[in-house]
């Protein structure tokens, strides 16, 4: 059977299907696993979500927050594709803020502080209520290998390749399926570190996943080690709040999801977070004990996140800084736990207590949990296709932190795409892949499959070349119709989107019709002035009364009008670059025959095997002249194929 377009492997043979207990198995109940399971089920697949503990589905292992710069855009895109992260955040958020409001619309992003316990409960409810999803509690210890065609793989890949057809649990149960999606987070051969103490586990109170790494290595999959960390949790009543700066949420908060009832939003009481700072005493304590840090003592080999460093990293790497900021964030409306955002650490418990109590407002802080670091295995993501399927292992896909990323949002996006493509592959339907010009999810995917990160990957708006097109306010316009065509979005969400689009179009027409009093300019032309606000116009113009108060709609239309010229130029740039970007590289293309190209470029292209010319152009070690030469050879290859 021939592979469908863009799917890297042929569909599972009919003989294998008879033994399936499910169509898709998702291993891991975190943010990637949730979106993977739900996306596959929305496309009609029978799904098993395998998790060590069913009561920890949707756990917020680190910061109890959703969104942020670059990340909020991803949450909006997940929502536009039918995912649940935005809806769960809206239901459980206890503070909402739009970031970067003093900057342009392209870099503004929503963020919310969540109630950790409510978030987990809501996420679990969405999973349990989704038709076609079965939650299986158990520890997935190994992969099940089955016989399947491997002729489509390169000779060197066939040497160790196996077809994956299920997982085996620690209690001996065996689950069979056409596709397995691993979303194991930080649990693969995970070790937790606090000072000189270590313990196996990927999160406090939960065991490490030991067997799967060995199976991946058996398949020839290249693994690496990364590190993440978490800060102490403090007792609310032990903090002197009078000494801290208060940070409140937006006066008129905006939800992530268009499905959220704005008349009832926000659903939860809204709270304030607080800010304080480290000082020289704090830094002295850390420097005096730096030899006891697992990272600095050499006990941790994995690299931590550059953009979320531990407090000991901040003090040692930025010695010129006199202080570092902390955000004290309530974890829940119903508990006394305070998340000390900004002092992630794996120093010994007594050292943590000493440096925290040197910080203003925290002099009497009581610890409910000390900070710790987690070191874990990850898979070099250049071994993936842009469908999140492994290149050399039919039946196996990966999503989330196993791919070297950080963050709930990046994980959820990968899970949605991996789960959707697993279901589409099983159904022998075309794959679903987003480009860099279509979504931040496309940027994320493309960045991963052409790189081998040496540190956890985090999304930023600066990673997107076309960020003016990829605004947080237009994710639905970019993605919802396409998702509906696939079946990822249901009739209700599609109807809501179309009604929102109708109202936007009607407002734009009205702005073009209305004239500014005493002048020939239309309201649309008048709105292009930087000092004119559409909200003000709607509040003072009777003809615009029906849109007054619709904050998000007004903001979107105002952005469309004010940035129309810039957006059009960027669209033209996209069209021009897409002609190169979308030039596909055949799966059997022989990079070794590229005469005139340097050895390094040939070798890296042969190893990473980019799917398009655009992807090839972004690989480190591939220069613009190499891309031009590759384009010539691809055209020659195309003509030879056409003449055959």
Ramachandran region, residue 612 (left: φ > 0; alpha: ψ -120 to 50; beta: rest) = beta
Position 157 pLDDT exceeds 70: no
pLDDT greater than 90 at residue 417 = yes
Whether the predicted pLDDT of 525 surpasses 70? yes
Question: Does 132 reside within a domain?
Answer: yes
* CATH value at residue 210: 3.50.50.60
Report yes or no: 616 and 583 within 8 Å, Cβ to Cβ. Answer: no
pLDDT at position 346 over 50 = yes
Same-domain pairing of 513 and 472: no
Highest mean pLDDT among 158-162, 319-323, 622-626: 319-323
Does the pLDDT value for residue 568 go beyond 50? yes
- Within a domain: residue 83? yes
Q: Is residue 409 part of a domain?
A: yes
Question: Domain check: are 499 and 445 in the same one?
Answer: no
Q: Are residues 449 and 499 in the same domain?
A: no
The reply to whether 506 and 474 lie within a common domain is: no
pLDDT score of 627:
82
Let me know if residue 363 belongs to a domain: no
Instruction: Choose among 344, 394, 392, 444: nearest CA to 609.
Output: 392
Identify whether 540 is part of a domain.
yes
pLDDT in tens, 256-302: 998 999 889 999 999 999 999 999 999 999 999 999 999 888 888 77
In whole angstroms, what is the distance from residue 357 CA to residue 360 CA?
A: 8
Pair (392, 410) in one structural domain: yes
**400 has pLDDT over 80:** yes
pLDDT digits (tens, 9 = 90+) for 362-381: 999 999 999 999 999 999 99
pLDDT at 91 over 70: yes
Query: Which of 482, 503, 531 is the endpoint of a domain?
Result: 482
How many domains is the chain built from? 3
In a domain, 112, yes or no: yes
Same domain, 446 and 415: yes
Please identify, among 462, 482, 502, the residue that sits at the C-terminal boundary of a domain: 482
Query: How much of the chain is in helix, strand and coil states, percent to nearest 5?
Result: 40, 20, 40
- Same domain for 421 and 508? no
Q: Look up residue 511 and give its two tokens.
A: 């702005």
Choose the most confident range, by mean pLDDT, from 65-74, 220-229, 310-319.
Answer: 65-74
Indicate whether 121 and 38 sit together in one domain.
yes
The residue range of the domain holding 402 is 20-227+376-482
Query: Which among 569, 602, 633 is the end of a domain?
Result: 569
Compute and round to an integer the Cα radius of gyration of the chain. Answer: 26
Helix axes 440-449, 71-80, angle to 10 degrees: 110
CA dist 44 and 21 (Å) reads 15
What is the model's pLDDT at position 158? 65
Q: What is the mean pLDDT of residues 391-395?
A: 91
pLDDT tens by residue, 299-330 = 887 787 777 889 999 999 999 999 999 999 99
Please state, as a whole number, how many other Cβ atoms lie within 10 Å of the Cβ of residue 447.
19
Supply the angle between the helices 491-513 and 475-486 in degrees, to the nearest 10: 140
CATH number for the domain including 531?
A: 1.10.10.1800
12 domain-assigned: no
- pLDDT for 644: 56
Per-residue confidence (pLDDT) for residue 643, from 0 to 100: 63
Residues 469 and 395 in one domain: yes
* Edge-first strand listing for the sheet containing 197-200: 197-200, 191-194, 372-379, 223-230
Rounded Cα–Cα distance for residues 284 and 364 (Å)? 19
In the predicted structure, residue 231 carries a pLDDT above the cut 90 = yes
Q: What percent of the chain has pLDDT over 70?
A: 97
* Sequence-separated contacts (24+) of 623-631 with Cβ below 8 Å: 623/598, 626/597, 626/598, 626/601, 629/594, 629/596, 629/597, 630/585, 630/594, 630/597, 630/605, 631/580, 631/583
Same domain, residue pair 411 and 548: no
Confidence category of residue 442, pLDDT binned at 50, 70, 90: very high
pTM, whole model, 2 decimals? 0.91
Is residue 295 in some structural domain? no
Same domain, 86 and 184: yes
**Does residue 140 contact residue 151 with C-beta atoms inside 8 Å?**
no
Same domain, residue pair 473 and 604: no
Q: Is residue 32 a contact partner of residue 456, using CB atoms and an 8 Å limit?
A: no
- Sign of the CA dihedral running 415, 418, 422, 425: positive
Least confident span in 215-229, 276-290, 572-586? 572-586
Least confident of 159-168, 174-183, 186-195: 159-168
Distance CA 524, CA 515 (A): 9
Token pair of 572 as six digits: 């033209």
**What CATH number did the domain enclosing 595 receive?**
1.10.150.570
Mean pLDDT over 117-123 rounds to 98
* Cβ–Cβ under 8 Å, residues 300 and 373: yes
290: Cβ contacts below 8 Å, ≥ 6 apart: 296, 312, 316
* Spatial separation of the C-alpha atoms in residues 514 and 522, rounded to whole Å: 6
The region that residue 547 occupies, defined by phi over 0 for left and psi between -120 and 50 for alpha, beta otherwise, is: alpha
Instruction: At 388, list the tokens.
Output: 């999140």
pLDDT of residue 205: 83
């Amino acid at each position: 059977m021939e592979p469908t377009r863009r799917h890297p492997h042929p569909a599972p043979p009919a003989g294998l299907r008879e033994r399936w207990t499910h169509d898709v198995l998702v291993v891991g109940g975190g943010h990637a696993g949730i979106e993977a399971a739900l996306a596959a089920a929305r496309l009609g697949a029978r799904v098993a979500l395998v998790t060590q503990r069913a009561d920890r589905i949707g756990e917020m292992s680190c910061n109890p927050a959703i969104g942020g710069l670059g990340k909020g855009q991803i949450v909006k895109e997940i929502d536009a594709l039918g995912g649940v992260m935005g809806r769960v955040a809206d239901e459980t958020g206890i503070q909402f803020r739009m970031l970067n409001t003093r900057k342009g619309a392209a870099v503004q992003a929503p963020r919310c502080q969540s109630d950790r316990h409510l978030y987990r409960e809501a996420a679990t409810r969405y999973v349990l209520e989704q038709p076609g999803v079965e939650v299986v509690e158990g520890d997935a210890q190994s992969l099940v290998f089955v016989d399947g065609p491997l002729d489509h793989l390169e000779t060197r890949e066939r040497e160790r390749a196996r077809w994956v057809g299920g997982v085996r649990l620690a209690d001996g149960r065996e689950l069979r399926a056409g596709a397995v999606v691993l979303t194991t987070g930080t649990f693969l051969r995970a070790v937790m570190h606090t000072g000189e103490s270590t313990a196996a586990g990927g999160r406090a109170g939960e065991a490490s996943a030991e067997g799967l790494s060995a199976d991946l290595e058996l398949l020839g999959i290249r693994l690496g080690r990364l590190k993440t960390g978490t800060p102490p949790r403090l007792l609310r009543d032990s903090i002197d709040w009078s000494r801290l700066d208060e940070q409140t949420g937006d006066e008129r908060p905006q939800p992530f999801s268009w499905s959220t009832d704005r008349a009832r939003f926000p659903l939860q009481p809204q709270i304030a977070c607080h800010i304080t700072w480290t000082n020289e005493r704090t830094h002295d304590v850390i420097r005096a004990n730096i030899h006891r840090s697992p990272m600095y003592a050499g006990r941790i080999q994995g690299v931590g996140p550059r953009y979320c460093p531990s407090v000991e990293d901040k003090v040692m790497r930025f010695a010129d800084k006199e202080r570092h900021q902390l955000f004290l964030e309530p974890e829940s409306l119903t508990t006394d736990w305070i998340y000390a955002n900004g002092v992630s650490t794996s120093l010994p418990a007594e050292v943590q207590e000493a440096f925290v109590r040197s910080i203003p407002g925290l002099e009497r802080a009581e610890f409910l949990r000390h900070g710790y670091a987690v070191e874990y295995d990850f898979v070099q993501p250049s071994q993936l296709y842009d469908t999140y399927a492994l290149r050399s292992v039919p039946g196996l896909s990966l999503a989330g932190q196993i791919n070297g990323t950080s963050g709930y949002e990046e994980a959820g996006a990968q899970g949605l795409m991996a789960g959707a493509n697993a279901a589409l592959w099983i159904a022998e339907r075309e794959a679903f892949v987003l480009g860099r010009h279509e979504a931040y999810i496309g940027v994320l995917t493309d960045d991963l499959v052409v790189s081998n990160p040496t540190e956890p990957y985090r999304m930023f708006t600066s990673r997107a070349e076309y960020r003016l097109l990829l605004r947080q306010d237009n994710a639905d316009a970019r993605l919802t119709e396409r998702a509906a065509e696939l079946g990822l979005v249901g009739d209700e969400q599609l109807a809501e989107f179309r009604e929102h689009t109708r109202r936007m179009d009607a407002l734009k027409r009205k702005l073009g019709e209305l004239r500014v009093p005493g002048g020939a300019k239309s309201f649309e032309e008048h709105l292009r002035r930087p000092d004119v606000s559409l909200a003000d116009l709607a509040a003072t113009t009777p003809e615009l009364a029906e849109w007054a108060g619709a904050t998000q709609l007004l903001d979107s239309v105002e952005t469309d009008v004010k940035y129309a010229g810039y957006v059009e130029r960027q669209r033209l740039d996209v069209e021009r670059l897409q002609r190169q970007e979308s030039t596909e590289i055949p799966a059997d293309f022989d990079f070794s025959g590229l005469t005139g190209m340097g050895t390094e470029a040939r070798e890296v292209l042969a190893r990473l095997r980019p799917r398009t010319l655009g992807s090839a152009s972004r690989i480190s070690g591939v220069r613009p002249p190499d891309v031009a030469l590759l384009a010539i050879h691809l055209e020659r290859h195309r003509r030879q194929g056409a003449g055959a």
